[in-house]
A = this chain, B = another copy of it.
Amino acid sequence: MAGTDSTRKPAATVSGGGAPVVVLVEPQLGENIGAAARAMLNFGLPEMRLVRPRDAWPNYKAINTASGAESILEAAKLYDSTEAAIGDLHHVLAATARPRDMAKPILTPREAAARLRADTADRMRCGVLFGGERAGLENDDVALAEAVVMVPANPAFASINLAQAVLLLGYEWFQAGREAALPELPARRQEPATQADLHHFFEHLEAELDACGFLHPSDKRPNMVRNIRNIFTRANLTDQEVRTLRGVVKGLAEPRRRS
């Protein structure tokens, strides 16, 4: 943060939504967590969150690899679930090495950085999910994101190390901030929904869909739930829109309840 901001107007960038949060989901190797922290400090991403790291925390291998970026590790927060880790964020992207069978926009790191710059300037809290070393993010985690970030690379050898993926995102974030001091955007009229709001809506909708039998053949349920969540995740809902949707679901389902 200090880096980006100290080069140009310091207050302007900070007063936005702040730099994007880096969320490592089930990271395995302390070395990679440390190297990610170093890359984050290089490029002005101060906030790391960890979802169920494999090894005990604090992790001394992480500290050894951070090479001066221990402050990032010390401030890192731990979470039991990806949902919990992103609850307070407005916009979430997911870094993934392979295309998923989901209807989500695919962004390069450069496109993602431009989007994150615009959203944080618009006072949104943003985050990017990175999966563990073995297999990357689960589909359920990717489903939480509104778009996917893929690094264009040699198709015969496209697997990017976890810390390197964080580095590339951070690098593009920093370069995007250098390119232009963003003009003041008109004030947003409506508050965006947080991930937690969205999650409550999903739970409500899915409970009603369970009750009416729509989600029934239970082997298909996870996929149906994911597809439905995808639709709404992508829509960048406002606070008010989530309330409207809850009203819609309640309105449609309620009369049945009463009968």
- Inter-subunit contact B254/A212 (CB<8 Å): yes
- A158: chain B residues at CB < 8 Å are 3, 42
Interface string of A192-213 (1 = CB under 8 A from B): 0000000000000100110011
- Inter-subunit contact A103/B174 (CB<8 Å): no
Of chain B, the residue at the smallest CB distance from A214 is: B251
Nearest Cβ on chain B to A11's Cβ, whole angstroms: 17
- A160: chain B residues at CB < 8 Å are 42
Residue of A2, A103, A106, A189 with most chain B CB atoms under a 10 A cut-off: A103
Number of A interface residues in the complex (CB < 8 A): 77
- Given the complex of chains A and B, what is the CA–CA distance between A42 and B109 in angstroms? 15
Contact among B6, B103, B110, B164 for A175, CB-based, below 8 A: B110
- Inter-subunit contact A214/B248 (CB<8 Å): yes
- Inter-subunit contact B106/A186 (CB<8 Å): yes
Instruction: State which of A83-91, A124-132, A232-240 sits at the interface with chain B.
Output: A232-240
